[in-house]
Each structure stands twice: as C-alpha cells, then as structure tokens.
Amino acid sequence: MTLFNDNIPIFIKKIILRNLASALLLISLTCGTAFADDKKSTKSTFSIDHIMSLKTVSDVKVSQDGMWVAYVVRRMDEDKDKSFSQIWMSSIDGQIDIPLTASYANASSPRWSPNGYDLAFLGVRGDDEDAEAQVWLLDRRGGEARQHTAVKQGVNFFAYSPSGDQMVLVIQDAKPEVEDEKDNDKKKLKPWVIDRLQFKQDYVGYLDRRRTHLYLFNGKTDPAQITSGDYDDDDPVWSPDGKNIAFVSKRFGDPDSNDNSDIWTVEANIKAKSFPLLQITKNKGPDTDPAWSPDSKSIAFITSTEPDKLWYDVNHLAISTANGDGVTRILTKDYDRFVFSPTYAPNGNSIYVLAEDEGDIPLIKIDLETGSREVQSEPNTVIAEFDIGSNGTIGYILSSHEKPNEVYARIGQDDIRLTGLNKELLASVTLARVKRLKVKGWQDEDVESFIYFPADYNKEVSYPVIFNFHGGPVSQHNSSFDNWGQLYAARGYIAVLPNPHGSSGYGEGFSNSLNKQWGTPDFADIEAIADFLIDSKVADRKRIGIGGWSYGGILTNYMITQSTRYAAAVSGASEVNHRANYGHDIYQLEWETELGLPWENIEGWERMKPFNNVGKVTTPTLILGGHVDWNVPIQNSEQLYQALKRIGTPTQLVVYPDEHHGIKRPSFVRDRYNRYLDWYAQYIK
C-alpha cells in the first residue's frame, strides 16, 4: 500500500506556510506554551503506572529536504515483560505522524538517504533475540522494509555516503571458526581465554581480541574492510565531498592502558588497494565526536586537554584542518562548561553544540569567526539531542520539569512541537512544583538543588524528605522531567535532587573538587542542604531519607558511614570497598589515573573507602543491584549487606537476575520503584 505520493514536498510546504501563520500551532522552546487542553485540573497524582506507560524518544534525524523528522519511540510492555523501540516520522508542521516499523519489533538508528525517500535503520527480523542487527531500507512512501546487509556478526553502526551509493559500516571482527568433527554442538560451553588489560565490559562480558573496524558497502559486493589492527575504530563520519571518512580510534601504545583517542581519516574509495590513515588530532587527551565542515576542509571535535584530571576535566569544542597538519583551534577555552555533540550549520559559519550548564542543557550556536556564543534555547529546559537538515531546519528533543521528552522542529525563528507522546497519559495528572535552591555548602561555595514539592504542599507543615543522588560522579540533575522526583512528591515527600561538588554544569573547579576525595565535599554539601531545609521548617529532621544509583549509591554509602541523622537509605548498584573492586569492575584505567595502583597508594585508596567505617552504620539500608553488572559489580553490595546484617542494622539485599548496570526488564523496573517506596514508607513516612 502506498502511503504517500511524489508531491509530498510541495504539499508539506503548503501546510507549513498555512500553519506558520497560526500562532496556535507554534510552541516555544520553554515548553511553557502548551496545547489547549494541557492544563486540565484534576485530582490524579503521578504513579508507577504512569512511569511504566511513559514513552521515550531518541535519535532524531531531519530528512534531506527538511520536510520530515524521523525518531525512535521506546516503550515498556509489561505483558510481554520487554521493551520495544519503533521508528516514527513526523512532518515538520506537526500535522502528520506515521509509524514506519512494527510496534512489536526493535528498530533503531534511523538515517535518511540523500535521495530523501529511503530511510535506513538497524533492526532484526522476527522474534529471534539472538539474531544480529542488520541494516534495513524502507521507502517512506510505503512498502515492506528490505534487508540491506547480511553480515554474520551483525552491524554495530552505519552511515550513508553523501551520494547515497555507499555506506560505511562499523563491524566487530567475527568469532574464529573452530572445526571439531567430534563435536558439532554449537551450544557447548567453551572457556574464555583472556590476554587483554581491559578484559571485561558491562553488557558484553569478557573481552577478547576481536575489534570493531570500518567497512565500505555498496549493496552489490561484500563489505570491504578499510581499517584494521588491534584497535577499535568507531564513530565514522563522511566528508561532505564523499572522499574521506573521519573516525575515532586509540592507536598509540596499548589502547587499554590510555584514554588518548584521536580523530583519523581514511580515503573512502572502495576500489583502492590500500587504505592509509591520516592522523588529524595530536592532543594527549581524548578527542571525540568528529563533525566535518560543509567544505570538507576542517573537522570539529570535542577535546579534553588535561587527561590527568580524568572525567573532571572540562572538555572543549575544537577545530583542526583536515589535511593533517595538526593545526588546532579551541573555540570554548573561555567557556567553563562541558560541551558535546558538535554540528556545523549548513553555511559553515557557525557550529552548534549542547552544554551542561547549571542544571540546564542548552543548544548553543558558536560563531567560527568571533567565537561568540548564542544560546538557542530557553532556561529551565534540556535539549537531549538535535539534528540539522541541509536547509537549516533543526529537529530536536526537549524536556522540562513538567513535560517528558518530545520532538520539536525549528524553522527559521519558529519552534513547532511535533509529538505529544505522553500528552494523553499525563493530561489528568497534577505534577509536582519544582523550585531551584542554592545554599552554601563545602568551603562556603554555592550548591544547587532541584526541590520537588507535593502538589498540595502546605508551608505550615514540615515534610518527610528524600534526597535522590545522581550517578557519575561527574553528572548533574537537570531541568528535564524526572520520574523519581515526581513520584516521591506524589507520595507526599519533598524530593531533593542535589548537584553537590563533583557535578558537571558548574565549572571544572567544582567538578575537580571531588578528585581523590569522594565523599568529602559532597557529604558536606548534602549536610548543608539538610540543615537549611530543617532550619526553614520545610523538612522534618527525624524523617529524612537518602538514596541513589551508581555513584548515587556510592555517595549514599559515604553518608551512612559518616552520619546517623538519616532515617532510611537506599543504595543501588554501589561501591563500598573500592580496593576489592579493582580488577573486578571495568574501571582499572580510571582507578589508576585517579588513585594510582592499589598496592602502591594504599593510604589514598583506604582513605576513600566507606567500608572501613561500615561498623558505624545505624541507618536502615536497602541494597539493590544487577546480577551481572560489571560496571559496578554486585560484589560490593553483597559485602555491604553482609556487614550491616552482621552488626544488626536493618537491611535487605535485592539482586535482579540477568540485569546489568541499568535495570531494563519491565517487571524489575516496577519492582525497583515499589521497593524504594516501601522502604522509605516503612522508616520515614
């Protein structure tokens, strides 16, 4: 069945011109202007049921003609106990929304072909969970998807050439074939044989020497390998003239022993007999996220110039010439914020980036000649990602405290909301009121938090309070829709989402203050925030809970070993005995960079270890984690549980089978929310 005809561009242009004249269809970046029925007054409150029904959106891509935006919608299905991702497209006036892939399949990475009609994506045919992802092609005018690649080990990533006649594929080396005439059982277990320094990875398992490399594919012959060696090659980007491909790789020394990734280029000639590489960047720190200038003469990228500061080093936007002469210009040296996702404007005069800035993630336009910065989004919003069409149309994903992520389009100076994925779900829900709070924390420096107040908040009453710590350690709570904050407020708590020292968004000095002293400045910050809320009669001093996941769980462990003031704690996917995790988690390089070898800098490792003070813990503590989490292994959670159980502190250990660092199975997602709520209700409600 044909869904569209060849007159789509003209038709859509007419719709756009007609609707741009109507202010009713325009939505500003603040999300403050809502659809007409978004302000219904009802008594329903936000619940776990709402969380389980929320749809999330990602990977927004603008078509070549700027008339369509494709994106991925992900939802949880509790009946099937699985999550599904589906590709949709919307006309840029927001009038047409069409699903392009099946609702009970998994499709990702939509990419428009240069001809504007084909949409390629990664997906698996059928219900075979062990099948490898391939590239598929779908004519947006209708018809079935066509399988485009047949790579035995699957395709990790792909990108169209500017002419559309080729793709660059990222493919991991195939497993070696082992022939054994006496044993044809492919399911027979075999030992892992390991000889790498970095020998494991969460969601992957034990690592071997199979690497990811780049291949050229024209749809007619087998993919042609154009990079090789004992290195991983990723993030390929075509030059606009189609002659070269830029990519990221660590190619000096043992790549497992350093973080010195560089930008390289390789000639995109499938008929070439050899493929010599050209090194573009020569910075001693990591260089990532390459983006070509429209004239193919320069490459923008994100650079970290002080790798010894690890993840505390604020990265910058830089540009190098594409001829390999090593000339580099840093454009954001005077901007003390983490930036990412560089994209050239079609005219080549400016570059757009995202930044972490005091709880917001704005879209910023940087002039290449003057270096001046112009913020393109409103305060108290988060731009999760964006894409720019050849005609200048910007598709982006925006969220605020009041609205989950939705897709928008900017045409000139006008912003149009394209999706309302959760509009009906939340139309009858009264959400929390969110305010920013700044108090003096560690060393009398300002520390910011987002405070979620119950909808019926009464300032004459002191409330139970839950602190929810973010992961990282270098990350930030931001202005996006937050399930935890909304859920706690709906249950009658005041939720505090703090950005203590170590958080991004407040400058390198603020982040680097946590370096080599986890649990010192951030503990002081949380104590100061709690004191302020108690002194202001907002918080009931006897009913304060703390908790978080990943570094949020680690900070929780520091808190309960240093203070007895907290009535309940939840420690998720945490560490408590760092030396015991060396060689067991995936962070050998990061640990060595920050603290040195654990048998050499014993004092530094021990000083930062909450386990040494675990005997002082009196706070009832719920401990959770994934069974196969190799990011922050369950081992430390088990040790914390064993210690608390041994000294008689109320505790419980919850381990989710076959789950990694992020809990994904819908039944476990619901279970985790319920356990948090039940634990806090038992001890502080």
* Domain that residue 475 falls in: 430-683
Q: Residue 467: enclosing H or E segment and its boundaries? A: strand 463-469
Q: Residue 375: enclosing H or E segment and its boundaries? A: strand 373-375
Spatial separation of the C-alpha atoms in residues 98 and 63, rounded to whole Å: 14
Residue 623 lies in a domain: yes
What CATH number did the domain enclosing 522 receive? 3.40.50.1820
Give the residue carrying structure tokens 């720019």. 388
Residue 29: is its pLDDT beyond 80?
A: no
Helix 666-683 to helix 483-490 angle (10° resolution) is 40
Residue 322: is its pLDDT beyond 80?
A: yes
More confident residue, 42 or 118: 118
Residue 537 lies in a domain: yes
Burial 588-626 (b: 16+ CB within 10 A, else e): beebebbbeebeeeeeebeebbbbeebeebebbbbbbbb
Residue 450 lies in a domain: yes
Amino acid 178: pLDDT: 56
Residue 40: is its pLDDT beyond 80?
A: no
Number of domains in the chain: 1
Amino acid 130: pLDDT: 72
Query: How many residues would you count in the chain?
Result: 685
Spatial separation of the C-alpha atoms in residues 339 and 56, rounded to whole Å: 23
Residue 322 lies in a domain: no
Residue 653 lies in a domain: yes
Mean pLDDT across 623-631: 96
Amino acid 41: pLDDT: 43
Over residues 479-538, the pLDDT tens digits come to 999 999 999 999 999 999 999 999 999 999 999 999 999 999 999 999 999 999 999 999
Amino acid 327: pLDDT: 87
Spatial separation of the C-alpha atoms in residues 69 and 408, rounded to whole Å: 9
Residue 633 lies in a domain: yes
Q: Is 407 exposed, middle or buried (0-12, 13-18, 19+ CB in 10 A)?
A: buried
pTM, to two decimals = 0.90
Residue 184 lies in a domain: no
pLDDT-based confidence at 596, cuts 50/70/90?
very high
Residue 162 lies in a domain: no
Residue 271: is its pLDDT beyond 90?
A: no
Q: Which residues contact 482 (CB under 8 A, 6 or more apart)?
A: 401, 450, 452, 497
